[in-house]
A and B are shown apart, each in its own frame.
Chain A
Amino acid sequence: MARITYAQALIDALHLSMAEDPRINMIGSYVLGLGPLRGLVDRLKADFGDRIVDPPCSESAIVSLGIGAAMAGDRPFVDIGTASFLFEGWSQIVNEAGNAHYMTGGQVAVPAVFHMLHGLRGGSAAQHGHSPQAMLWNAPGIEIVLPASPRDAKGLMRSALKSPNPTVVLDHAKLLGLEGEVPEGDFEIPLGVAEVKREGADVTIVATSLMVSLALQAAEALAGDGIEAEVVDPRTLVPFDRETILASVAKTGRLVVVDEANMSCSVASEIAATVAEAAFSDLKAPIRRVCRPDTPIPFSPPLEAEIAVNADKIAAAARHVCG
């Protein structure tokens, strides 16, 4: 085990995968954004420079390029940059990548990874801070990966790059500098396996990506009140590990679901509906969702803080369902 940043873990996964599979190539190399950690990408450029291209600002074309290249036998890693820019390539990802295998009757697969940085990051304002995972979940045929820790970032990216399907990996912009223990060398986490990040008997908190860190903070605060929260991270939305969440709810009888996207038709909404449908009789209280309100993201810091999900809001929801 080594203690490294999330960004380092992500680059380690890419380096390992590119070293072992020459079909993997990168379309876009601003994987870590433009922040202070971006220099970590230089290691990939030094060792695999001939497999990295940096395209112009043409998100629609580069998503399509990745899909077409995957259909023709490559394993492209396509970097979209900020997740809000995925909307420029929305038709390509939803209408081409997600449909290709099904509508060809299984003749054509799209083994491509689409990587992007999502979420509120301070000053993103309305057009650079989207968390489009719920929108993607509403489109069939696309795998959705949401790492929450350096360990997950490495293990899940290794699996995403081996997947035969179009896979969107959403890293939260605020997780890149997070440090944690990560196994060295070859290490994978299969897609579709949730992780119980903290055990507890009183309430289940389901969270993904950065929301896992906030849920764990909330759980510490709740423990001070004598409430033991179990934090469950699905880690991938597609495939979705329903059983681990249902097992936790069967144990605790209470559920709070946290999602950074705005509430209507959010990831939290889908998970709440799934649990209500499958395990209503296990519930001792109504499910609570903790999400952003249905507004665009404001620029000014107090306005952004007002709409952002935080540990206090999660803890308050947990106290409410336990009350």
Chain B
Amino acid sequence: MTAPAADRRRAIFARMLLMRRLEESVALMSKDHPFGHFHLYIGQEATGAAVIEALRPTDLATTTHRNHGHLVGRGADEKAVLAEILGRADGCNGGRGGTLHVTDRDRGFLATSAVVGGSIGLGTGAAHALKRQGKGAVCAAFFGDGAMEEGIAFETLNLAALWRLPVLYVCENNSRGALGARAGEFPTSEMAAPKLSGIPESLGIRTAVVDGADADAVHAAAADAVDALRAGDGPVFLEARTERWPGSRPLWPELLTGETDLALAWEPERIAGDHAAWIREQDPILRYARVLTDAGVCTRDDLAAIDRDVRDRMAAARDFAAASPWPDARSATDTVFALEA
């Protein structure tokens, strides 16, 4: 595997850190702003950031209830994303979508469906249009392992294979290490197939299985996949496996691993507590920080400077979101129908 160019690796790291600090802010703000049920992207940042790095701005994307990371990773304004999560007027969707449906059309997001499997069909439809339009663009459909339990996954994989549609299926399998089968635990996916990628393989779809916490590996697989899509070779199914972040085990996410301390990347002896193993071995942010400094791509100071910038941006975003007004209640029945398309 060839590592991506240094500037790409720095960009991937900055995206990952933005995702992480956004989700920490969401968890923090959920204490004072009860916005309900939400899903954090912590532990999966390497996948989203590296796939996004492999896309062009003209490519499209669909995503799910676990969308926050994808949105800011692709350049959505973190102020508007956070305001949307709080249901405020300045949110990306004007408060009509909330955490489950954060969307930014200008960043190529067509649909953020919180129906499990929804993003697969919609992303495939977008790819059908892109193929017809003949401009060489592709669509990335992000979804979790649970989506493979849905019937629409099989139907659309079959169609995409038959019609050789330029769709990158990004299956973020975050169930490794999940304890869903145990009584009282939050459920995770259950499939009879020994591996998820065996399902698209049976339809003749090209697949790749990667460590979803290894940003360079994800980038290499995604870049290969996107090249194949642009060459008209048909869909690619990328299964990115991550060890489940401990904070996502309960229904209500908790920062069980604490606010990320970047210095732990180089001071593992300071890592302690119940979740030390995840932090030491799995946390994709700390892993990538070590990779980049070991490879001489960045110094610790470079990464700390990125972190300072990201933290400043997130502090400003929290202030902005908290100060954003509620939508005008009289607008509740507006925008059901489009006046033009």
Contacts and interface: CB of A to CB of B under 8 A. Distances in A.
B202 interface: no
Interface core residue of A95, A96, A103, A110 (most chain B CB under 10 Å): A103
B335 A102 contact: yes
Interface stretch (A62-70, A178-186, A274-282): A62-70
B183 to A, nearest CB: 30
Interface string B90-129: 0111111100010111000011110100101111111111
Contacts of B339: 164
A107 B122 contact: no
A71 B159 contact: no
B126 A71 contact: yes
Contacts of A64: 118, 120-122, 124-125, 152, 156
A66 B121 CA distance: 9
Interface in B294-340: 335-340
Contact of B128 (A56, A69, A101): A69
Contacts of A188: none
Nearest to A57: B155
B256 interface: no
A138 interface: no
B79 to A, nearest CB: 15
Interface in A72-95: 72-74, 76, 91-92, 95
B122 A68 contact: yes
B129 A73 contact: yes
A298 interface: no
A302 interface: no
Nearest to B122: A68
A56 B129 CA distance: 18
A55 B159 contact: yes
Interface string B255-299: 000000000000000000000000000000000000000000000
A165 B337 contact: yes
B1 interface: no
Given A104-B93, A105-B94, A105-B96, A65 B124 contact: yes
Contacts of B128: 27, 65, 68-69, 74
Interface core residue of A27, A51, A61 (most chain B CB under 10 Å): A61
A164 B338 contact: yes
A67 B125 CA distance: 7
A65 B121 contact: yes
Contacts of B132: 25, 51, 69, 74
Nearest to B106: A107
A73 to B, nearest CB: 6
Nearest to A59: B155
A70 B132 CA distance: 12
Nearest to B94: A105
Contacts of A106: 94, 335, 338
Given A96-B115, A101-B337, A141-B337, A108 B105 contact: yes
B5 interface: no
A22 to B, nearest CB: 9
B104 A96 contact: no
Contacts of A60: 121, 151-152, 155
Given A72-B110, A103-B101, A104-B101, A61 B124 contact: yes
Contacts of A67: 111, 121-122, 125
A103 B104 CA distance: 12
B129 A96 contact: no
Contacts of B248: none
Nearest to B113: A96
Nearest to A63: B121
Contacts of A49: none
A127 interface: no
B103 A107 contact: yes
B226 interface: no
A141 B121 contact: no
Given A61-B155, A164-B341, A104 B97 contact: yes
A95 B115 contact: yes
A100 interface: yes
Interface string A36-47: 000000000000
Given A25-B132, A65-B124, A68-B123, A102 B96 contact: yes
A62 to B, nearest CB: 8
A12 to B, nearest CB: 24
A53 interface: yes
A169 interface: no
A91 B155 CA distance: 14
Contacts of B186: none
Contact of A68 (B112, B125, B158, B341): B125
B2 interface: no
Contacts of A63: 121
Interface of B: 60, 62, 91-97, 101, 103-105, 110-113, 115, 118, 120-130, 132-133, 139, 151-152, 155-156, 158-159, 162-163, 335-341
27 contacts: A56-B162, A60-B152, A61-B155, A63-B121, A65-B159, A67-B121, A68-B62, A68-B128, A69-B128, A76-B125, A95-B113, A95-B118, A102-B96, A103-B93, A104-B97, A104-B103, A105-B92, A105-B335, A106-B94, A107-B92, A107-B104, A108-B103, A108-B111, A109-B340, A109-B341, A111-B338, A141-B336
Interface of A: 25, 27, 51, 53, 55-56, 58, 60-74, 76, 91-92, 95-96, 100-111, 140-141, 143, 164-165
